[in-house]
Amino acid sequence: MYPIALAVIPILAAGLNPLAGGGPSESEVKSAYVLNILRLTQRKDSAGTELHLCLVRPGVLEPALQALDGTLIQGRRLKTRTAQKEQIDGCDVLFFGELSGAAKTLSRGHAMGMLTIGCDEKFLGMSGMVSLVMEHRRIVVEINQAALRSPAWTFSSHLLEVARVIQGGLP
């Protein structure tokens, strides 16, 4: 397993600012973060050969996240799809790009034991589990403290080293 920081070190070492052009786009960097979050979390009852990442209102991040399809994560092949409305059956992980109108889907995902990842500063307060937020032109990983008590997911110590644990809404 690799710390999330390892995904970004080559970008920074090359002197590229992913948010200023000339390097990876913000979408590509956030997609790399999502991939590493998936590598650093594990579903306790994981079964099967596939890990299903469902995109809920992914917005501009959709192409970069769809590009992850087929990646091997902890021995399971990542399958990505865009969830239409509230069709999240069969998903292991939900990624929320935009929160508008997604509260019901988020709540249903929690009830079904799904890992929820978003990229909005309000995401954890709405009971999201992991959020990618922009702070001083950098992406910061925040984890909802309540998510650490999830009966369905474990979080690697590597992830907890680089993330900020926040008191958010209760899942």
pLDDT digits (tens, 9 = 90+) for 94-104: 999 988 878 89
Asked if residue 171 is part of any domain, the answer here is no
Segment 66-71 shows an average pLDDT of 97
d(CA 6, CA 96): 24
Q: Domain tally for the chain?
A: 1
Asked if residue 77 is part of any domain, the answer here is yes
Res 77: pLDDT: 96
pLDDT above 50 for 3:
no
Across the chain, where does the E strand assignment appear? Answer: 41-43, 50-56, 72-73, 76-82, 93-96, 115-118, 130-135, 138-144, 153-155, 164-166
Q: Is 98 helix (H, G, I), strand (E, B) or coil?
A: coil
Q: Give the CA angle between residues 44, 112, 86 to the nearest 5°.
A: 135
Instruction: Provide the residue range defining the domain that includes 155.
Output: 4-166
Res 20: pLDDT: 52
CATH number of the structural domain spanning residue 9? 3.40.50
Segment 123-137 shows an average pLDDT of 91
Q: For 72-128, write each residue's pLDDT tens digit.
A: 999 999 999 999 877 899 999 999 998 887 889 999 998 999 999 999 888 998 889
d(CA 70, CA 148): 28
